[in-house]
């Protein structure tokens, strides 16, 4: 039994209506105006986050620098105050003149800046205990005077120098051992000249005098 023409038409109309309904249910692929408005302002068309402005970066750098303390110039190291200098010059056995090693020590003293200040210089002459007290006193004076003459020869004013003979009165080592025998090493240490260079004395202040 064949389907009637009226029924066929009804079925076609129903098929068309179903197709239209399915089409209406599919989401539109075109972006709406509301979707475009929701895009963040700091996102570019390519989807990347926008870089901060150069001016803002400069301001941030300046703010960081403003809290950093500027470099402080190191203060100069203060010069230590001058002090008196002392030197001991050994003398050879039975000798009144310093040897080459002793002269080298004196030259080192002369290069000290304190010597150039012009302060007084004291020279003590010493001897060991071998010989009489009188002979040792004379020997110690000769040794001190020999050092004084060398200083003068090197340009030191003679009126700055005072010579004092001590003889054997101020030993720094034993002249004899405990068994009474001779102590050559101790006597070598006692034959010496001691030099001290003091600082210049301050000029006395005169009342009523105008400051220079």
Residues 53-81: pLDDT tens digits?
A: 566 665 666 655 555 555 566 667 777 78
Q: Decide if 44 is inside a domain.
A: no
Question: Beta-carbon neighbour count of residue 127 at 10 Å?
Answer: 29
Instruction: Specify whether the CB–CB gap between 192 and 88 falls below 8 A.
Output: yes
pLDDT at 175 over 60: yes
Q: Decide if 89 is inside a domain.
A: yes
pLDDT at 120 over 80: yes
**Cα end-to-end span (Å), the chain:** 149
Report the pLDDT averaged over residues 95-124: 95
Q: Is the pLDDT higher at 203 or at 102? A: 102
Range of the domain at 147: 85-197
Q: Decide if 186 is inside a domain.
A: yes
The number of distinct structural domains making up the chain is 1
Q: Decide if 42 is inside a domain.
A: no
pLDDT at 33: 46
**Which among 136, 165, 129 has a CA at the least distance from the CA of 148?**
165
pLDDT at 80: 78
pLDDT at 204 over 60: no
Q: Is the pLDDT higher at 37 or at 12? A: 12
Q: Is the pLDDT higher at 6 or at 84? A: 84
Q: Decide if 17 is inside a domain.
A: no
Q: What CATH number has the domain bearing residue 132?
A: 3.30.1330.60
Instruction: Specify whether the CB–CB gap between 115 and 85 falls below 8 A.
Output: yes
Q: Decide if 10 is inside a domain.
A: no
Helix (H, G, I), strand (E, B) or coil at 177: coil
How far lies 13's CA from each of 5, 8, 19, 25, 61, in Å? Answer: 13, 9, 10, 19, 74
Q: Decide if 120 is inside a domain.
A: yes
pLDDT at 139: 94
127/90 Cα distance (integer angstroms): 10
Q: Decide if 119 is inside a domain.
A: yes
Report the pLDDT averaged over residues 101-123: 96
């Amino acid at each position: 039994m064949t389907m009637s023409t009226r029924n066929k038409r009804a079925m076609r109309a129903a098929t068309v209506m179903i197709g239209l309904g399915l089409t209406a249910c599919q989401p539109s692929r075109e972006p709406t105006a509301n979707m475009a408005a929701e895009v963040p302002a700091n996102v570019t068309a390519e989807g990347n986050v926008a870089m901060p402005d150069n001016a803002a970066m400069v301001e941030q750098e300046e703010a960081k620098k403003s809290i950093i303390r500027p470099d402080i110039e190191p203060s100069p190291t203060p010069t230590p105050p001058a002090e008196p200098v002392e030197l001991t010059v050994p003398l050879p056995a039975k000798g009144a003149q310093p040897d080459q090693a002793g002269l080298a020590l004196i030259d080192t003293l002369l290069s000290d800046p304190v010597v150039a200040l012009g302060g007084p210089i004291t020279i003590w002459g010493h001897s060991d205990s071998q010989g009489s007290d009188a002979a040792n006193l004379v020997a110690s004076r000769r040794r001190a005077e020999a050092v004084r003459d060398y200083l003068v020869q090197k340009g030191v004013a003679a009126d700055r120098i005072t010579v004092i003979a001590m003889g054997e009165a101020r030993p720094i080592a034993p002249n004899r051992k405990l068994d009474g025998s001779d102590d050559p090493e101790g006597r070598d240490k006692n034959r010496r000249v001691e030099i001290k260079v003091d600082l210049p004395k301050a000029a006395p202040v005169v009342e009523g005098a105008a400051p220079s």
